[in-house]
Amino acid sequence: MTRSTQALAYARPSALESGAAGRLLGLETSGGLTPAGAQPHPTFFSGFLSSPQTAARGLLAVADVAAARYHDPTPRPLLDPVVTGNGDRLRFESFSGCCGVYARLDVLREGLDGAETGHGTTNVDVNNPLREALSRMTGDSPLHLRVGPGELAVTTLDGSVVEKKVPLPQRWLRGFAEAQVATAGFDLRAELPAAEAVRFLRSLPRPSAGRASRAVGWVVASGRTLRPTTRPAPGAICLPGPERLAALQRVLRQAIALRVYGPVATDGVASSAAWEVVLPGMRLTLTLSPGTTRGFSGEGGVLEALSTDEAAQDAELVSVLLAWEPRIDPAELAERSGLTVARVRAALVRLGTAGRVGYDVADAAYFHRELPYDADRTERHNPRLVDARGLLAAGAVTLDGESASVASGPRVYRVREVGGQLRCTCTWWADHQGRRGPCKHALAVRMARRGTAAETSAAAGGENR
């Protein structure tokens, strides 16, 4: 697995301090990107929170996921959550070590007690002493949150810097992109009031010996609650490894409602789902991969968008139009850019592979963030895409009407289209049946067909001139 070690430098450790005016929660930031460019220690927020204890527990839940590895309890370095200021809210995001759970705490405008929020993305330090302090927090005394160095913004060379080096696997970034693609196809499947939400979540099994079960379960809406079912009946919601929802236990006392988002259940195939606990002035969402041993990074949902010839150029155009919006409307971007909505969506997927775009199921809209990665680097770490381009460059694809053949190694694979989906005779297709994106052979065929169509269109245009 490819890993890179990044140094996250903080002006001082994050801390929760008590004073005459209440508690001060200081979250220190490392270098980040803002509308003014790269900043060594950006400041996104300084103000009181409307529901301090809820925010503390929500932040702990995000940190719990960052520290977890659901299919393997082996201890691992803590990863600091990503925080994005979108002008009207703060978003705290993390991924589990196995990349199978994506967590996000959205502190909305009503949860920020009227204080202004900046724009930009960075990492925030959530260290063990801070976790312990937040865990001990009780009552509802005033809590002032500061995201950024605050008074240390003018620190001289004599000031201290806390530096942590953390290994970030490439799959962590790929997980952001794949989770975006998956959740963009979700719809609201169930909504439970507070009492039923608490009852249901407390009925779920806890991790045994630090591991989540590999069993794929299903739940179906029944009145105002959810009940388990052994088969995916119409409207059923997939719940693989229910132990992975354990982090939601942090906020059950403050829960207002539970909302579940997911795709339409088909053929009993395991799928992702997003579980959102509505809180006073904020939302905590956990998105689960289709299985405890399946990380989002290998789902292959971005491959089709990355393989188009125009995706890179379209992404450059669309990126210029982004302005840290909390809600990005593809139709509006299409009007402003002159692209079709389909091409805008493909461009947003490509921007997502560089961590520049996420998706919020509650708003049913994309949002802008900036992570310090480039899309080209991410494309190189999608081996199926790299292999497909290699097959195409080597002339290994032969088109034959609705079918095609692809010479790969000592074998020739047949690819044919059925119901708009390309099916292949390779073992990847046999194992996954297209549920984890296209295989390299189908991807190469798709690219070859687009190239042929473009050449035909160009030739027709030349004859008409």
Q: Sorting pLDDT into bands at 50, 70 and 90, what band is 411?
A: very high
Task: Give CA–CA dist 71/247, Å, rounded.
Answer: 15
User: Does residue 407 register a pLDDT over 90?
Assistant: yes
Mean pLDDT across 287-297: 87
Largest CA distance in the chain: 81
Mean pLDDT across 276-303: 90
Q: What digits encode the pLDDT tens for the residues 199-250?
A: 999 998 876 655 566 677 899 988 889 998 877 777 889 998 899 999 999 9
Q: Find tokens 């052979």 and name the residue.
A: 441
What percent of the chain is predicted at pLDDT more than 90?
A: 44
CB 290 within 8 A of CB 270: yes
CB atoms within 10 A of CB 312: 14
Q: Which residues of 246-256 are buried (b: 16+ CB within 10 A; e: fewer)?
A: bbbbbbbebbe
User: Does residue 460 register a pLDDT over 50?
Assistant: no
Q: Sorting pLDDT into bands at 50, 70 and 90, what band is 74?
A: low
Is it true that 9-152 and 180-298 share their CATH fold? yes
Q: What digits encode the pLDDT tens for the residues 47-64?
A: 999 999 999 999 999 999
CATH topology of domain 180-298: DNA Polymerase III; Chain A, domain 2 (3.10.150)
Mean pLDDT across 123-136: 90
- Backbone φ and ψ of 12, nearest 5°: -165, 165
Return the pLDDT at 116. Answer: 87
By mean pLDDT, which of 42-51, 106-115, 225-234, 389-398 is the weakest? 225-234
User: Does residue 457 register a pLDDT over 70?
Assistant: no
Please state the domain extents for the chain: 9-152, 180-298, 383-460
Return the pLDDT at 409. Answer: 87
User: Does residue 99 register a pLDDT over 60?
Assistant: yes
Q: What does CATH list as the number for 9-152? A: 3.10.150
Q: Which residue has the higher pLDDT, 26 or 167?
A: 26
In SS3 terms, the chain reads as CCEEEEEEEECCCCEEEEECCEEEEEECECCEEECCEEECCCCCEEEECCCHHHHHHHHHHHHHHHHCCCCCCCCCCCCCCEEEEECCCEEEEEECCCCCEEEEEEECHHHCCCCCECEEEEEECCCHHHHHHHHCCCCCCCEEEEECCHHHHHCCCCCCCEEEEEEEEHHHHHHHHHHHHHHCCCEEEEEEEHHHHHHHHHHCCCCECCECCCCEEEEEEECCEEEEECCCCCCCEEEECHHHHHHHHHHHHHCCEEEEEECCCCCCCCCCEEEEEEECCEEEEEEECCCCCCCHHHCCCCHHHHCCCCHHHHHHHHHHHCCCCCCECHHHHHHHHCCCHHHHHHHHHHHHCCCCEEEECCCCEEEECCCCCCHHHHHHCCHHHHHHHHHHHCCCEEEECCEEEEEECCEEEEEEEECCEEEECCHHHHHHCCECECCHHHHHHHHHHHHHHHHHHHHHHHHCC
